[in-house]
Structure formats: C-alpha cells, structure tokens
Amino acid sequence: MPQEHYFSSKPASGDALRTIPVRLAGRTVEVLTAGGVFSPGHLDQGTRVLLDEVPAPPASGDLLDLGCGWGPIALTLALESPDATVWAVDVNERALDLVRRNAARLGLRNINAVRPEDVPPGVRFATVWSNPPIRIGKPELHAMLADWLPRLDDGATAWLVVQKNLGADSLQRWLAETLGDDADVERAATSKGFRVLTVTRAD
C-alpha cells in the first residue's frame, strides 16, 4: 500500500472525529477534526502566523483558501467576510467533509468546500490565503501555484505562509522569477520560523 500523507485523496487511517477548541476571527470555537488530515490535534503554528499577520479580507467577491485541510483559514475568511463567497479547496475528501461540517456547526453558509477541479474556471479571486502543501514536492507545489495565482483579480493579493526551513526563500525567488512583471512578490512578515509571502497581481 502506498504511504499515506495528509494530502491523500481518500485517507485510509482512522477517521474518528474529535472536537478541538481553536481561536478563529477573534473568538474561540469548537471544530471537528479527524486523522488523515493535516494537523488534526491543534491549529498549525504556520497557520496561526498567517492568521495573525493578514489584514482583514475583502468584504465581498470570491475568496480562496488553497489547501484548506479541516478549514481554519476558510472558516476565518467566512467569519470575517459573511457577504463573500469562500472557496475551500483540497484534494483530500475527508478534509472537505470536515470543512462542510465545521461550516454547518458555525452556521456559515458562504463556504464552498470542493476539489480543485470543481471550482468553475471563470472564478477570479479577490484574495487567496494559503498554508500551501510544501511536502507534496517542489514540481507539484510549483504547478499548483502556477495554476491558481493567475486567477487573482487585477491588483489582488495572495498571502502564503511557508516555514523558513522548508524553502520559503527559494519559493519567494521562484515566484518572483516565474510571475515576472505580472505580479509583485514580497516578504510581508517573519515570525516563529515562518515567512509570510505576498503575491500581488499587477493592475
């Protein structure tokens, strides 16, 4: 059997549900998590750094959490921007199921938790927030970002958190080289061993 990762599409490992308390959008909420998804026992430290560093999201439009896991980023976007449409995208179907359940628990009706291929191709994003799946490997990560970042609206910004020891600086260079004049790539913050990178699409 192939080794299982948190990015398996159908995790085989135990799916016992558990609830954990997390602080999202300035309040403590109980969310459901399960084995076979990323960081099931607690809010990942990189995600915490991202959520502490980003400005308030746009109040309307389509907002993307790329690689949503059980949903801390998507839930935050939906709590902070109730009039926006939040796309929570992941290849892991158990993660998508957890996001749907967590949205229902919090009474949120503005989250679409879907596989990447199920986001209509015409949708453009007013922002992207992501703790991207570095461990899928560099070619796969680059391909994923090259697919999604050009879908930012003109002038819109993506916020990416990456562990410094897992190649944050080389990813920043790759983004700048690859996107060229189409986007401005910056290091917005460094905290607790993580970099927060921004990619702002040209107007």
Ligand X SMILES: C[S@@+](CC[C@H](N)C(=O)[O-])C[C@H]1O[C@@H](n2cnc3c(N)ncnc32)[C@H](O)[C@@H]1O
- From 65-73, 117-125, 181-189, 194-202, give the range in contact with ligand X by CB under 6 A: 65-73
- Considering the complex, state which of residue 64 and residue 180 has its C-beta at the smaller distance from ligand X: 64
Q: Does 6 bind ligand X (CB under 6 A)?
A: yes
- Residue closer to ligand X by CB (options 79, 95) is 95
Asked if 144 interacts with ligand X (CB under 6 A), we say yes
Spell 71-86 as b/e; 16+ CB within 10 A means b: bbbbbbbbbbbeebbb
Q: Does 157 bind ligand X (CB under 6 A)?
A: no
Does residue 39 interact with ligand X by CB under 6 A?
yes
Stretch that binds ligand X, among 86-94, 104-112, 167-175, 195-203 (CB under 6 A): 86-94
Q: Binding residues for ligand X, per CB under 6 A?
A: 6-7, 38-39, 44, 47, 66-69, 72-73, 89-92, 95, 116, 131, 133, 136, 144
